[in-house]
Amino acid sequence: MLDRKTPPAIKDAVDLTLTLKPYDKYTLRNGVDVYAIDAGAEDVLQLELVFYAGNSYEPRNLIAASANFLLKNGTTNKSAFQINEHFEYYGAYLNRNCYNETASVSIHTLSKHLPALLPVLKELLTESTFPEAEIETYKQNMKQRLNVNLKKGDFVAGRLIDTYLYGPDHPYGRFSRFEDFDALTRDELVDFYERYYKNGKFVIFAAGKLPKDLFALLDEQLGDLGNKPVEQPQHQLVLAGEKKYRVINDPNGVQGAIRMGTPFPNRHHPDFLKVQVLNNLFGGFFGSRLMTNIREDKGYTYGIYSYLENHIQRSAWVISTEAGRDVCEAAIVEVYKEMADLREEEVDAEELALVRNYMMGSILGDLDGPFHIINRWKNIILNGVPETYFYDQIRTIRTISAKELQELANKYLVDDNFYELVVV
C-alpha cells in the first residue's frame, strides 16, 4: 500500500542513468543503409530518406531547395493534386526539407498504410516531371513570401549575419533573392534531380511501430534506386572585413533585431561538447546569464538566446534577440559584460548544478519516443561523429569544471571575435 504521508525522493536529473536505444541496421540490395528504431505504443511510423542533395551541391543559388520542394508537384502518371490526394486519403503526411549538405523526403503514417504509400514515394524519386506551370506558381508564391519577409527586421538579420560569418558565396551564407527565383529553369531542376535524387546517394531512417516486413518492403520498392557516391564540394570561407553593422530596414521601426556571432568549429572539435555547457550557462536557456540580465533585470527584451548553429562542416556561435530601437546598443553592451564576467570569474557550484540539471533534463525529453530517438541517431550518423557521442555528451555535462568553463570563455567569448548586427 502506498505511503501517502511520505513524499517520493527527489532525484536530480544529473544523477539519472540515460541510455540511447540502439538502432537496427539493414542494407538494401543497392547498398543503401537503413537505420531503424522499433518502439512506441501507437501504430505509427516515420520514414525519412536523406539525400546528399543540399545547397552545397547546387551549381547556382536556390536550385537544391526548389528541386526538393517541387518533387511532389507532378510525375509521369500523377498531377500534384493526385499525389496530395493519395497521401491524404491514407491520413499520411508527406514532407520535404532542404538543408546545407542534405535534403530529405519523409512520411508520417499509420504503419499499416506503408505498403500503399511506398510505390508513390518511389514514383516521386524516379518520375517527377517538374511541370512548367508548377514551377511558375512556385516562383510567384516564393517571391511573394520573400517580399513579405523582407519587411521583417528579424528575417533580414538572420540572413545577413550568416553572410558575414561565412561569405556571400558559401552555402551557409547565401540567401534567396528575387532574381534567383526569376532565373530558375526547368532544365536546371531536372538536371539536379537526375544527378542527386535518381542517381545520387541516400540513407534511410525509420522509427515507430515498424511492420515486421519493413526491410522487405523497403528493399522491394527502393532497393533498385540509384545509390552512387557523390563528392562533397569544398567551399571557401570568406569572413566579412567589417565587424559592426547597423542596417535601417524600416525607417519608422520601433524595434531592432540584434545578431552577434563568431565562427566556431564543428562537432569533431574537442571543445564542442564542453562549449555546449558554456553556451547554456551564457544564453542557452531561460535561466541563463543573458536572460537574467537583459530580460529580467534590464527589461530590454522578451527573450535572448545564444546557440551553436547546427551545420555539418563548420558552425558559428550566435546570440539572437529583438529589443526596442532605443535600447539595442545598451543590450549589446550588456552581452559583452556577461562575456567578461564569464572570463573573469568562475561560475559558482549552484549555478553550474542548475545548468547540468537543465541539460540532462533536455536530453531526457529528447529520448521520449522513437521519433526523438531516431533523430538523435540521425544527428550522430550524418555528422560522422563516434557512436559514443551521446555518452560523451552526458559525461561532459556531469564532469566539466568551473575552471574549464572559465578557460573556454577566455578562449572563445572574446569581444573582438564577434560580429555585431542591428537591423531596425
Tell me how far apart the alpha carbons of residues 396 and 374 are, in angstroms, rounded to a whole number.
22
What local confidence, expressed as pLDDT, does residue 1 receive? Answer: 67
Distances (CA, A) of 324 to 173, 249, 297, 321: 27, 14, 15, 10
Express each pLDDT in 66-84 by its tens digit: 999 999 999 999 999 999 9
Tell me yes or no: is domain 24-222 CATH 3.40.50.9100. no
For the beta carbon of residue 82, count every other beta carbon within 10 angstroms.
Answer: 12
What local confidence, expressed as pLDDT, does residue 233 receive? Answer: 84
- Mean pLDDT over 168-195 rounds to 96
pLDDT cut 70: percent of the chain above it: 100
Confidence class for position 236, pLDDT limits 50, 70, 90:
confident
- Mean pLDDT over 254-271 rounds to 96
What local confidence, expressed as pLDDT, does residue 229 receive? Answer: 87
Confidence class for position 225, pLDDT limits 50, 70, 90:
very high
Residue carrying C-alpha cell 526523438: 372
Write the class of the CATH domain 244-423: alpha beta
Distances (CA, A) of 421 to 157, 160, 175, 308: 7, 8, 17, 17
**pLDDT higher than 80, residue 61:** yes
What local confidence, expressed as pLDDT, does residue 230 receive? Answer: 86
- Mean pLDDT over 258-263 rounds to 97
What local confidence, expressed as pLDDT, does residue 360 receive? Answer: 95
CB 153 within 8 A of CB 159: no
What local confidence, expressed as pLDDT, does residue 110 receive? Answer: 97
pLDDT cut 90: percent of the chain above it: 90
Distances (CA, A) of 188 to 133, 267, 364: 15, 33, 44
Confidence class for position 260, pLDDT limits 50, 70, 90:
very high
DSSP letters of 277-320? HHHIIIIISTTSHHIIIIIIIS---S-EEEEE---SS-EEEEEE
What local confidence, expressed as pLDDT, does residue 294 receive? Answer: 97
- pTM (2 decimals)? 0.92
Quick one: which of 84, 54, 86 has its CA closest to 72?
A: 84
What local confidence, expressed as pLDDT, does residue 231 receive? Answer: 84
Confidence class for position 250, pLDDT limits 50, 70, 90:
very high
CA dihedral 322, 327, 333, 337 (to 10 degrees): -80
DSSP letters of 98-152? E-SS-EEEEEEEEGGGHHHHHHHHHHHHHHB---HHHHHHHHHHHHHHHHHHTT-
What local confidence, expressed as pLDDT, does residue 14 receive? Answer: 82
Express each pLDDT in 267-287 by its tens digit: 999 999 999 999 999 999 999
Q: Regarding predicted confidence, which is higher, 7 or 186?
A: 186
What local confidence, expressed as pLDDT, does residue 235 receive? Answer: 87
Confidence class for position 234, pLDDT limits 50, 70, 90:
confident
What local confidence, expressed as pLDDT, does residue 356 receive? Answer: 97
- Mean pLDDT over 302-314 rounds to 94
Confidence class for position 103, pLDDT limits 50, 70, 90:
very high
**pLDDT higher than 70, residue 188:** yes
CA dihedral 395, 401, 402, 405 (to 10 degrees): -60
**pLDDT higher than 90, residue 168:** yes
- Mean pLDDT over 203-220 rounds to 96
Count of H-run helices and E-run strands, the chain = 15, 11
Express each pLDDT in 190-206 by its tens digit: 999 999 999 999 999 99
**pLDDT higher than 80, residue 312:** yes
Per DSSP, which regions of 40-102 are E strands? 44-51, 93-98
What local confidence, expressed as pLDDT, does residue 17 receive? Answer: 85
Confidence class for position 223, pLDDT limits 50, 70, 90:
very high
Express each pLDDT in 391-416 by its tens digit: 999 999 999 999 999 999 999 999 99
Grid coordinates representing 80?
500534384
Grid coordinates representing 371?
521519433
Domain with CATH 3.30.830.10 in the chain: 24-222, 244-423
